[in-house]
Amino acid sequence: MAKAGYTIPALIIVFGGGLAYWVMSNRDTTPVGLSITSTSGDGGELGEDEDGNTYNYQFHTGTWRESDSSLPITSENEGKPILVIYQNGTPVSGQIVEASDWSNVDENTLGLLKNQKETMEEYGINTDEITEMIASLEESQQATADAESIFGPMVSLQSNFVW
C-alpha cells in the first residue's frame, strides 16, 4: 500500500519535467535584428525624410526580427527575399516580397517605381519626383497601347493576306 502513495506524485513530477523540457525546446531563439544568409539584388536609395534621415533598401535571405515580442520573418530563397529598409544605415523594417516585383527594371519599371513610392510614403519621404516619373511612364504606355490598337489590325491583315 505504501508504494501506491508514491506512484502518483512520481508520475506528476515526470510529466511536469517532460512538459518543461518540451516548452524550453520549442522556445523561439531567433535573435532580434537582421541575420543575413546572403544578399541579392542591387537595392537602392529611397531618399530623405523631413528630419534628415536617409533611407535605402536591400534584399537579403535570412531572418528579420524587429523585437523580442515580434515573430521572426524568414526568407530561404532569392525568389522571395526579405526587403530590408535601412534608416541611416541601420535596419528598421523587413518584409517578405516577390523578387520579380522589385527587379527587371527594363521590363517592370512602372511596377518598381510604384513599389518604391509606396515604401517612400510609409516613411514620410517626399514622392513628388517619383510621382512625375510614374505619370510620364503611364502616359507613354497609354500612347503605345493606343497606337497598337489603331494600327495593329491593319498590319496583321496586310501581312497575312495571300494574293
Domain layout of the chain by residue ranges: 33-142
* pLDDT per residue as tens digits for the range 100-128: 777 766 666 777 888 888 888 888 888 88
C-alpha 46/C-alpha 32 separation (Å) is 24
What local confidence, expressed as pLDDT, does residue 120 receive? Answer: 87
Burial class (CB in 10 A: 0-12, 13-18, 19+), 21: exposed
**pTM (2 decimals)?**
0.66
What local confidence, expressed as pLDDT, does residue 1 receive? Answer: 47
Provide the b/e sequence for 67-87 (b: ≥16 CB within 10 Å).
Answer: eeeeeebebeeeeebbbbbbb
pLDDT in tens, the chain (163 residues): 455 678 888 899 999 999 999 888 887 777 788 888 888 877 788 888 888 899 999 999 988 888 888 888 888 788 889 989 999 989 998 988 888 777 766 666 777 888 888 888 888 888 888 888 888 887 777 666 655 555 555 555 555 555 5
What local confidence, expressed as pLDDT, does residue 111 receive? Answer: 78
What local confidence, expressed as pLDDT, does residue 163 receive? Answer: 52
Joined together, the cell numbers standing for residue 18 give: 517532460
Spatial neighbors of 103 by CB under 8 A, at least 6 apart, are 41, 112
